[in-house]
Structure 1
Amino acid sequence: MSSLRAKIQDVFKEPACEQNRGKDAKARKEGCSKPLTPGAAAGGCAFDGAKIVLQPITDVAHLIHAPLACEGNSWDNRGAASSGPTLWRTSFTTDLTELDVVMGQGERKLFKAIREIKEAHRPPAIFVYATCVTALIGDDIEAVCKDAAEKFGLPVVPVNAPGFVGSKNLGNKLAGEALLDHVIGTAEPDDAGPYDINILGEFNLSGEFWLVKPLLDRLGIRVRACIPGDARYFDIACAHRARAAMMVCSTALINLARKMEQRWDIPFFEGSFYGITDTSEALRQISQLLVKKGADPEILCRTEALIAEEEAIAWKKLAAYRPRLEGKRVLLNTGGVKAWSVVHALMEIGIEIVGTSVKKSTVEDKERIKQILKDDNHIFEQMAPRELYAMLSEHNADIMLSGGRTQFIALKAKTPWLDINQERQHPYAGYDGMVELVRQIELAIHNPIWRQVREPAPWDCQPAVREELPSTKSEAATLHAVQEFAGTMADDFGEC
């Protein structure tokens, strides 16, 4: 537990964190931790954050050392996609019971589970996750993993991020520390080259990275490791031989990028593959870093040629949507890198941003948003559901882009909504992804269902029914016959 405490303090003092860099020496020493309060990890605990970062390593067995409920449904973790192995979607848990806890059987049961996974699936590695229960009862997963690795002849990686130590974001960083301590640098590739890069903090949600990788392939740039999206264990073990790196989500893995630069001299930059301009800029910066590390400068010319070709195709496709979207108002309720990269992407085609959340965004992210929007009034740290509903119901926005948690606010306000978080069904990265994002926004805004649901309900607009007397003798006779028939039926069957 003392080693875990030291690791947490190290993460809190992360010097590459923009917020920490702005502090004086004394404040930086205290770190960026906040006192934990009940419910502080409601948005995701440290264990959840660690598993989010590591589970997309697709050929690895992920073993949760915990009671059954901690594992949950591994198919429902995130919308990350795999181009091959599906072992990462198989749920493995030691399923500790009360009797195991009382009798001290946790470590023995963990060792047995590792052996069963090795014999049944023969994965290249097994990741073992500590949880609240097993950390509190004192199970030494690091010792068990070391013993099992020696016994079975395969890497067994301890992930010491029990939920009670902090938030999901802390778990993200602790997962990066586990990769640094036990995986990266443990294997040597036989094909290292001057055009090898790492992509960090890219989760391949809905297969987004597959829209970007072909662009890099055309430039002759090889992705040595994409951490964690659609990754393989051996690729991550060889990641230290890359020449440069791109950081997609610094909130999650800035410590991993900085320490890889420190240990193996792999320079990195933070960029985005959302939007045409940002995608082009990311390709340029990758090429420039590779040239600084010794690659042939001619790659810069090839990069510009590729960018010119792809931008022309993308803008031509987007021109068809501009007349129906220009001037439309979007409320963006997300965070992290999407808070500024998606804003920039939408403004490129004439969409107005009426508000964007900066929750989970770094200080640097917030500064980028201010530079893009030129107005702090459109930036909010977080907005209560009541305020979101008021803004949408008053028609201050034509559509809301957010995660699934707030979709029902938009639906209640009878406002179009589009999912751009981890549960989304469509990839939005790269040039083709930007076209797809605009297409989905256009479909959502102009869907005829919204015109129908905004109309008054039929029972709210029924005309008043007036009781009129029969106007002719024939109508009076008919009415009299009906009344007599009704009386006969009542005599035959009685009253209900």
Structure 2
Amino acid sequence: MKNTQVTTNEPLNETACKLNQNKLSDKKKLTCTKLPQPGTSQGNCPLDGAMVSVAAITDVAHLIHGAVACTHNPWATHGSLSSGSQLYKTAFTTDFGENNVIFGGEKKLYKAILDVAQRYKPAAIFVYATCITALIGDDINSVCKLAAQKINIPVIYVNSPGFLGSKNLGNHIGNETLLKYVIGTAEPEFTTPFDINIVGEYNVAGDLWNVLPLFNKLGIRVLSKITGDARYQEICYAHRAKLNVVICSNVVLPMAQTMKELYGIPYIEESFFGIENLNHCLRNIAATLGDKYLQQRTERLIAKENAALNIALAPYRARLKGKRIILCTGGVKIWSIILAAKDLGMEVIATTNAKTTEEEKAKIKQYLGQDGIVLHEATPQALLQVLKETKADVLISGTGSKYTALKAQIPFLDVNHERHHAYAGYIGLLELARELYEALYSPVWEQVTKPAPWDEKISYFV
């Protein structure tokens, strides 16, 4: 069994990975590689990160080899949706107990794999290591290989125990697992000159479904979705695409770079949020595929969609114009939402720069302008301070910051994995405008900003 530290370092040595320690002259330990520190808040762990990258594959069983508590976060907080199989929504675990810690859990894992295969008939089974099973030395990889021979379906080991580091590291490990054991293991029935992969889009709240119809209208086939609303088989033949469209560049750019080196697939970094971003994305895909008729169809589609969207957005733009936003999210969503806000006539006045590449940080500074504020930490204290100083109108963040918004008595909008509304595509921008309007003009804010009755000055004299 390969040494865990060697396995951990592999995804960090990718050519395109900004976390590659060989590139850092000062040997600074970046977030992805920092080991957990006792007594400090670390955020989500590598197990959660790996499941973000892998667990959106809908027709496979995801089995966590560890305590039942480890199943909560991956399944309870990720809003990836499926148009078909719902098997990925079932939480499988070996439910590790004290006896398993003492005597080992390899036999229990083997039986669990066979039971899941018999009862649910998955296309494949992904088995995830956790802190407990990694620490006691269970040979999970060997068990997976033995079980795969017995049940005759792929059983794939994901080596992502929580003590390795951060959620970002787990993302890299999950992607590396797909590259090693899934991509390139099957062939599609046929290929076309316009086959693309969408990489790093997880169909949160149905984002992907807002974009796929656009590709269908253009005659572009999405060969593989990695991994939102994906089936196992389509991931297997992702290596036959003509282009990788990278959406979440911070965690999947190394994957796209590796596919370019192994299979010669070029890649482009794009976003589906906002009019300007989506227009650029469609044009760039058409230009990269190199067909002039496709480019002509793309221009006609963009003109038609933009005209219809501008009409639908007009009443919202009138009410949202000039409203000021503080944005607290991560990765590609930061600069994407800055541009989407401009499409609505709004202004992002402050944002974090978490989980971003150096190129994305440059984009954020450019789009914010000279007066924009970049927060290097998003603690409640820091957010409350900047909310007070800037007198912003709305906080756009994940659910972890909603109580901060309530303390500041300002509207809040969730844009992370837990949300229930799709904001990608042209339709998604209209939905974003509608949600922002409802948040900003809810009558509750007029009520909560009034003084309490017992704080009002009451005159007892006429």
Tell me the TM-score range normalised by the shorter chain. over 0.9
Q: Does 1:299 align with 2:298?
A: no
Within 2, Cα distance between the matches of 1:35 and 1:158? Answer: 22
Aligned residue pair count: 462
Match of 1:234 in 2: 233
Among 352, 360, 367, the residue aligned to 2:362: 367
Following superposition, the deviation at residue 52 of structure 1 comes to 1.6
Following superposition, the deviation at residue 26 of structure 1 comes to 9.1
Among 313, 316, 321, the residue aligned to 2:311: 316
Report the CA distance shift for 1:94/1:19 in structure 2 as closer, same or farther (over 3 A). Answer: closer
Q: Does 1:352 align with 2:351?
A: no
Match of 1:50 in 2: 50
Q: Secondary structure at the match of 1:321?
A: helix
Following superposition, the deviation at residue 300 of structure 1 comes to 0.9
Report the CA distance shift for 1:100/1:24 in structure 2 as closer, same or farther (over 3 A). Answer: closer
Q: Secondary structure at the match of 1:38?
A: coil
Within 2, Cα distance between the matches of 1:7 and 1:288? Answer: 38
Within 2, Cα distance between the matches of 1:151 and 1:41? Answer: 42
Among 433, 436, 444, the residue aligned to 1:438: 433
Q: Contact (CA 8 Å) 2:68, 2:94: kept in 1 or not?
A: yes
Q: Secondary structure at the match of 1:192?
A: coil
Larger displacement relative to structure 2 (401-410 or 318-327) = 318-327
Within 1, Cα distance between the matches of 2:155 and 2:173? Answer: 17
Larger displacement relative to structure 2 (249-258 or 175-184) = 249-258
Residue-by-residue CA offset, 1:85-113 (whole Å, 9 max, x unaligned): 11111111111211122123x11111100
Report the CA distance shift for 1:311/1:333 in structure 2 as closer, same or farther (over 3 A). Answer: same
Match of 1:255 in 2: 254
Following superposition, the deviation at residue 377 of structure 1 comes to 4.4
Report the CA distance shift for 1:421/1:31 in structure 2 as closer, same or farther (over 3 A). Answer: closer
Q: Contact (CA 8 Å) 2:35, 2:163: kept in 1 or not?
A: no
Q: Contact (CA 8 Å) 1:12, 1:31: kept in 2 or not?
A: no
Match of 1:337 in 2: 332
Within 1, Cα distance between the matches of 2:99 and 2:56? Answer: 33
Match of 1:81 in 2: 81
Report the CA distance shift for 1:40/1:247 in structure 2 as closer, same or farther (over 3 A). Answer: farther
Q: Secondary structure at the match of 2:211?
A: helix
Within 1, Cα distance between the matches of 2:323 and 2:367? Answer: 17
Q: Which TM-score applies when normalising by structure 2? A: 0.95
Report the CA distance shift for 1:386/1:101 in structure 2 as closer, same or farther (over 3 A). Answer: closer
Following superposition, the deviation at residue 146 of structure 1 comes to 0.8
Q: Contact (CA 8 Å) 2:32, 2:165: kept in 1 or not?
A: no
Within 2, Cα distance between the matches of 1:48 and 1:333? Answer: 20
Q: Does 1:428 align with 2:423?
A: yes
Match of 1:15 in 2: 15
Larger displacement relative to structure 2 (453-462 or 66-75) = 66-75
Following superposition, the deviation at residue 258 of structure 1 comes to 1.1
Report the CA distance shift for 1:190/1:363 in structure 2 as closer, same or farther (over 3 A). Answer: same
Among 403, 406, 421, the residue aligned to 1:408: 403
Match of 2:244 in 1: 245
Q: Contact (CA 8 Å) 2:327, 2:351: kept in 1 or not?
A: yes
Within 2, Cα distance between the matches of 1:30 and 1:249? Answer: 19
* Alignment map for 1:128-207 (pairs within 5 Å): 128-207=127-206
Q: Contact (CA 8 Å) 2:13, 2:22: kept in 1 or not?
A: no
> Could you tell me which amino acid in structure 2 is paired with residue 289 of structure 1?
T
Match of 2:66 in 1: 66
Within 1, Cα distance between the matches of 2:379 and 2:45? Answer: 22
> Greater CA radius of gyration, 1 or 2?
1
Report the CA distance shift for 1:444/1:22 in structure 2 as closer, same or farther (over 3 A). Answer: farther
Q: Contact (CA 8 Å) 1:13, 1:32: kept in 2 or not?
A: no
Match of 1:397 in 2: 392
Match of 2:448 in 1: 453
Q: Secondary structure at the match of 1:382?
A: coil
Q: Which TM-score applies when normalising by structure 1? A: 0.88
> Could you tell me which amino acid in structure 1 is paired with residue 267 of structure 2?
F
Within 1, Cα distance between the matches of 2:330 and 2:314? Answer: 28
Report the CA distance shift for 1:194/1:55 in structure 2 as closer, same or farther (over 3 A). Answer: same
Following superposition, the deviation at residue 32 of structure 1 comes to 7.4
Within 1, Cα distance between the matches of 2:32 and 2:193? Answer: 37
* Alignment map for 1:266-305 (pairs within 5 Å): 266-291=265-290, 296-305=291-300
Larger displacement relative to structure 2 (5-14 or 217-226) = 5-14
Match of 1:91 in 2: 91
Within 1, Cα distance between the matches of 2:67 and 2:216? Answer: 44
Within 1, Cα distance between the matches of 2:219 and 2:377? Answer: 42
Higher relative contact order (CA closer than 8 Å, sequence separation 6+)? 2
Q: Secondary structure at the match of 2:15?
A: coil
Within 1, Cα distance between the matches of 2:75 and 2:32? Answer: 33
Match of 2:374 in 1: 379
Following superposition, the deviation at residue 21 of structure 1 comes to 10
Residue-by-residue CA offset, 1:306-345 (whole Å, 9 max, x unaligned): 1111111112222222221111111111111111010011
Report the CA distance shift for 1:73/1:47 in structure 2 as closer, same or farther (over 3 A). Answer: closer
* Alignment map for 1:120-135 (pairs within 5 Å): 120-135=119-134
Match of 1:4 in 2: 4
Q: Secondary structure at the match of 1:56?
A: coil
Within 1, Cα distance between the matches of 2:416 and 2:340? Answer: 16
Report the CA distance shift for 1:247/1:376 in structure 2 as closer, same or farther (over 3 A). Answer: farther
The alignment-based identity, stated in percent, is 47
Match of 1:223 in 2: 222
Following superposition, the deviation at residue 347 of structure 1 comes to 1.5
Q: Contact (CA 8 Å) 2:395, 2:413: kept in 1 or not?
A: yes
Report the CA distance shift for 1:22/1:365 in structure 2 as closer, same or farther (over 3 A). Answer: farther
Residue-by-residue CA offset, 1:23-54 (whole Å, 9 max, x unaligned): 47896999973454335672111111111211
Residue-by-residue CA offset, 1:186-205 (whole Å, 9 max, x unaligned): 11111221111111110101
Q: Contact (CA 8 Å) 1:288, 1:300: kept in 2 or not?
A: yes
> Could you tell me which amino acid in structure 2 is paired with residue 97 of structure 1?
G
Give the RMSD, CA atoms, in angstroms: 2.3
